[in-house]
Structures are given as C-alpha cells and as structure tokens.
Amino acid sequence: MDLPDPVKGAPDWLPPEAATFDTVHDAFLRTALEAGYQRVRTPVFEHTEVFARGIGESTDIVQKEMYTFQDRGGRSLTLRPEGTAAIVRAALTAGVPRQAALPVKYAYAGDFYRYERPQSGRQRAFHQVGVEALGAQDPVLDAEIVLLGYEALRRAGLQEVTLRLNSLGDREDRGPYRERLNAYLDRFADQLPPDVAERRHLNPLRAFDSKAPGMPEIMANAPRLIDHIGEAAKAHHEQVCRLLEAEGVPLTHDPLLVRGLDYYTRTTFEYTAADLGAQNAVGGGGRYDGLAEDLGWPERFPGIGWALGVDRTVLALQGAGLVPEPAPRVDTFVVLAGEGVGQEAFAAATALRRAGLSADLLADGRSMRAQLKAADRAHARLAVLIGPREVAEGQLTLRDLGSGEQRSIARADVVAEVRASLEP
C-alpha cells in the first residue's frame, strides 16, 4: 500500500520550524491581548452567504477561491477564507451592537482556507492571527489597530516592515468615483484581461488588484479614489496619519492600495516584508463600516481590524536569517544511570511535570551517554541522574548541563531543588 501524499497547498509544520511558527503566533497574539483585546473563537465553516455577502461577489475569494460544499441537510457551507466576516456575524448574532460598552475588542487565531495556486508564501491552508474592534469610528482606534499590527510584526522578529496606508473613503464616495474609473477603463477596453473586463462593472476597484500583463501600466495613471473622497473621510485619514507619525511609525502612502475585499472603507493598510519575493505581504486590514449592514443588520455597526499571516512571517524571518534560537524543549532531563531504575525515573519525571516543570526521559535501554546527548538536543538545563546507588540511598544526582557541576539531593526534594536551580 502506497503512503498517501500530503494535500497540495496544505503544509506540515514539524520541529524545529514548528517552534518558530509557535513563537510568531504567540508574539502576535500576546501583542493583542496585552492591548486589551479579548480572545474569541468562531467555527471553521459558516453558511456560504456570510462570505459571499460579506467579502463581496466581485472578489477573487468569492468567485474562485472558496472551499464550498453542501452538508447532508443540503445547506451550502464554506470553510472560512478570512476571519472578519465570521467574527462580525458572531457579534451580530449575540446582539453585541445593542450593548452599551462599545467598542468591543476581539483577538482571534486559526486556520483559513483558499483554493489558490500553491507557491512560496501562498498556500491553500494557512494560519492567521487577527484583531477586530467593533462599534466605533474613532480615528484614534484606527491608529491603535495599525500600530498594534506593526508592533506585533516587530515583536515577532521582523526588522524591515513596510506599512502601506490608504483611505478608500466612505461608501457614499464610491458611486461617482466608479463612474469616473469605468470611464477611464473604457479607453483600454480591448486591452483588459477577461476577469477585469467581467468584474469592473461590479467593482472597478478590483482592477487595481490585477497582476495580469499590462494592467499595472494601465492602472498607473488611473484616477485615485483618495482624490475623490469626502471631507469627513479625508479629515479622518489625516488624523490617523498624524497619530501614527507622532509615534514614529514609518508610513508609505499608497493610493493604489485597495486590498482584495469589497467591505473596506476609509483606513486601509498592508504590511510587507523583505525577502519574500512577489508574495511579500505579511498582513493587513482596514475599516469596514458597512459590513454589518451587508450581513443583514438594520443599522451601521462600524469596525476595523487586521490579520497577520503566521506562515508568511516565518518565511520572511527565514529569508532574512532572523529565525530565533530554539527554545528548550524541556528544562530537565531524567537520566537512567543503570538498570532496574525505570520506576524511580518515571516517578521523578511525573513529580516534576505535576509541579509544572518541564521534564522528559528515555527509558528504552539507551546508554547514559546517549541519554545525555538527547538532553543536549532538547536544550535541557538540568539532568536528574538516577542509578541503583541513588535508589538504595533515597538520593538523586542533580547535574547542571551547562557547567557540569553536580550534587546529591534527597529524592523527596527533587521538585524544590530543580525549581531553585532553574530560577534566574
């Protein structure tokens, strides 16, 4: 029987890369939690309409990339391709807009799925950490969100992060602008790729996303939405920029940035990293003040958020040679220094683990030297040696694997002695 192939576009993460993955994930999530964002979880699949109505019918995600299926009850369900629409749906379902304590600030992490052509930095199964702030339209909140994402990436170890920023104005600004942009695209009607030609009447902003040959040159002189936004949106954007610049955040103003989701309004942003090639975006987000209404809520319930790609950030760290040193797998390794001591070694490891201390052992007959090599590979700081003599005398030997110093301790004191030795 042949070994099953891995699913294309669904990468495995094994040590040591899995440890780097966890380090990046934890840095992102910790940044959000320390800023007062509370952890939320939503299902890995939703009714398809959540994404079709929320993300937008004109997007690549809805038209080409969603994993959609019918369940046994005939309902159309979709594996989540992004986080925002599902979290807003969950907040609306729970009646959050009716609560007095707004805004609410959420953080999430999980796996997401898009049917794309797999390549470096773009997979069909990927992991993101994100934040959403719902219920306020304050530019200070926008600046907070943008700054948190920037600092989360820096905390994860990226040294060169570029922040691209734009404003897409309010939805009321879109009508006249769409007419203007479509009139511009009419001049190139015979040069537009089929997908742009088909979708530009749904949402001509998608033309800015196209990487088809010739499209960047066509769009280089297209009218910019930021030049046609209302005064309120313009003042909002200027305040966000002032707040970020005052905190020393380097901004790249990019009037071509629209991102691939139809729900964005006003503040829109993207973080890019060096050493990632064409797929250099490691995260981004924006404001989505009309999304709740798209999902069926009867009134405005504004929000803003970002999502950071764990997989891509790991690739960026690897490309820049910035992968952190692996953390110790365990602090203590229990070593069997003779035969007939397996039960005592197992008891010592269990006592350490029950006390919240990380410990491992190998009781498969390997030599003491081989066990100490395993302890070194695990980056353990201490070894607890147990031999027949120690068992007979009710003693253990505690060895510092860095200095090589060792001493005898009472078996009953192993937890206290190990904890004291691990303290700074």
Distance CA 124, CA 380 (A): 36
Q: What is the pLDDT of residues 6-39, one digit of tens each?
A: 999 999 999 889 999 999 999 999 999 999 999 9
Interhelix angle 139-156/17-34, rounded to 10 degrees, is 150
Please state the φ and ψ torsions of residue 69, each to the nearest 5 degrees. Answer: -150, 165
Share of the chain above pLDDT 90, in %: 72
293 within a domain of the structure (yes/no): yes
203 within a domain of the structure (yes/no): no
Average pLDDT over residues 196-207: 80
Distance CA 107, CA 1 (A): 44
- For the ranges 176-185, 204-213, 284-293, 372-381, which has the lowest average pLDDT? 204-213
346 within a domain of the structure (yes/no): yes
- On the question of pLDDT at 305 being above 90, the answer is yes
Do 122 and 266 belong to one domain?
A: yes
- On the question of pLDDT at 164 being above 80, the answer is yes
Q: What is the pLDDT of residues 220-251, one digit of tens each?
A: 888 888 888 999 999 999 999 999 999 999 99
Q: What is the pLDDT of residues 315-334, one digit of tens each?
A: 999 988 888 777 889 999 99
Residue with tokens 């009607």: 189
4 within a domain of the structure (yes/no): no
Residue after which a domain boundary falls, among 284, 319, 354 = 319
Do 130 and 233 belong to one domain?
A: yes
- pLDDT recorded at residue 277: 65
Residue with tokens 């404003």: 167
- On the question of pLDDT at 190 being above 90, the answer is no
- For the ranges 82-91, 207-216, 271-280, which has the lowest average pLDDT? 271-280
| CATH number where 118 lies | 3.30.930.10
| CATH number where 347 lies | 3.40.50.800
Mean pLDDT of the chain: 92
| Listed residue (110, 139, 95) closest to 44, CA to CA | 110
Cβ–Cβ < 8 Å for 371, 337:
no
176 within a domain of the structure (yes/no): no
| Listed residue (424, 401, 399, 402) closest to 414, CA to CA | 399
Q: What is the pLDDT of residues 350-382, one digit of tens each?
A: 999 999 999 999 989 999 999 999 999 999 999
Do 49 and 118 belong to one domain?
A: yes
DSSP code for 277: T
| Listed residue (204, 167, 176) closest to 189, CA to CA | 204
Do 165 and 89 belong to one domain?
A: yes
CA dist 373 → 333, 341, 383 (Å): 10, 19, 11
Of all residues in the chain, what percent are helix, strand and coil, respectively (each to 5)? 40, 20, 40
260 within a domain of the structure (yes/no): yes
Query: In the chain, how many domains are there?
Result: 2
Average pLDDT over residues 278-282: 82
Do 33 and 77 belong to one domain?
A: yes
Do 280 and 308 belong to one domain?
A: yes
In this structure, which amino acid lies at residue 302? P
In this structure, which amino acid lies at residue 413? D
Q: What is the pLDDT of residues 61-108, one digit of tens each?
A: 888 899 999 999 999 999 999 999 999 999 999 999 998 789 999 999
Residue after which a domain boundary falls, among 319, 341, 364 = 319
Residue after which a domain boundary falls, among 319, 340, 365 = 319
Interhelix angle 139-156/231-246, rounded to 10 degrees, is 40
Do 274 and 141 belong to one domain?
A: yes
Do 166 and 36 belong to one domain?
A: yes
Do 254 and 302 belong to one domain?
A: yes
Cβ neighbours of 70 (radius 10 Å): 10
CA dist 191 → 188, 221, 258 (Å): 5, 15, 21
Strands 332-336 and 265-273: unpaired
200 within a domain of the structure (yes/no): no
Do 270 and 342 belong to one domain?
A: no
- pLDDT recorded at residue 287: 96
- What's the alpha-carbon Rg for the chain, to the nearest Å? 27
Do 162 and 51 belong to one domain?
A: yes
Range of the domain at 25: 17-170+229-319
- The SS3 of residue 38 is strand
Distance CA 78, CA 81 (A): 8
What are 308's two structure tokens? Answer: 């950071």
| Predicted TM-score (pTM) of this structure | 0.88
Banded pLDDT at 54 (limits 50, 70, 90): confident
Do 267 and 352 belong to one domain?
A: no
258 within a domain of the structure (yes/no): yes
